[in-house]
C-alpha cells in the first residue's frame, strides 16, 4: 500500500456515457465505457412502463463482454447468451414476473 497524492494528475480517464432507449414500453439504460473506441457495456438497468425495476444485466467477463448475467428485481440470477438476450429477457419475459 502507498500514499496517493490527491493533487496529482490522475492521468487519462476513459469516457463513460449513459445510453437510453424504450422498447415494448420498458426503458433500457446502459452505462458504456470508452464509447469512442472499445464501447464496452459496464451494466444496464431495465424499468417497466410503470417505472418499477424489472432488473439489471452485466457482462461477467468485462474484458471480452461475455457471459452475461441478469438479476431480476426479486434478486433471482440468470445467465444470458448475449447482451441482446439479457435485455430481451427483461423486457419480454422476466419483466412481467
Task: Give the pLDDT score at 1.
Answer: 66
Over its length of 97 residues, how does the chain's per-residue pLDDT go in tens digits?
Answer: 677 777 877 777 788 899 999 999 999 999 998 877 777 889 999 999 999 999 999 998 876 667 899 999 999 999 999 999 999 999 997 644 4
| Distance (Å, whole) CA 64 – CA 62 | 6
Phi and psi at 87, nearest 5°, equal -65, -45
Task: Spell out the domain ranges in the chain.
Answer: 15-92
Task: Give the pLDDT score at 95.
Answer: 45
The whole-model pTM stands at: 0.79
What is the separation of C-alpha 8 from the centre of its chain, rounded to a whole number of angstroms? 31
| Distance (Å, whole) CA 42 – CA 37 | 14
Amino acid at each position: 500500500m502507498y500514499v496517493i497524492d490527491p493533487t496529482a494528475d490522475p492521468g487519462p480517464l476513459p469516457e463513460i456515457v449513459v445510453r437510453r432507449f424504450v422498447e415494448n414500453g420498458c426503458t433500457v439504460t446502459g452505462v458504456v465505457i470508452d464509447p469512442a473506441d472499445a464501447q464496452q457495456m459496464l451494466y444496464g438497468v431495465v424499468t417497466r412502463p410503470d417505472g418499477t425495476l424489472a432488473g439489471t444485466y452485466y457482462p461477467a467477463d468485462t474484458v471480452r463482454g461475455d457471459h452475461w448475467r441478469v438479476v431480476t428485481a426479486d434478486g433471482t440470477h440468470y445467465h444470458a447468451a448475449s447482451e441482446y438476450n439479457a435485455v430481451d429477457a427483461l423486457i419480454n419475459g422476466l419483466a412481467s414476473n
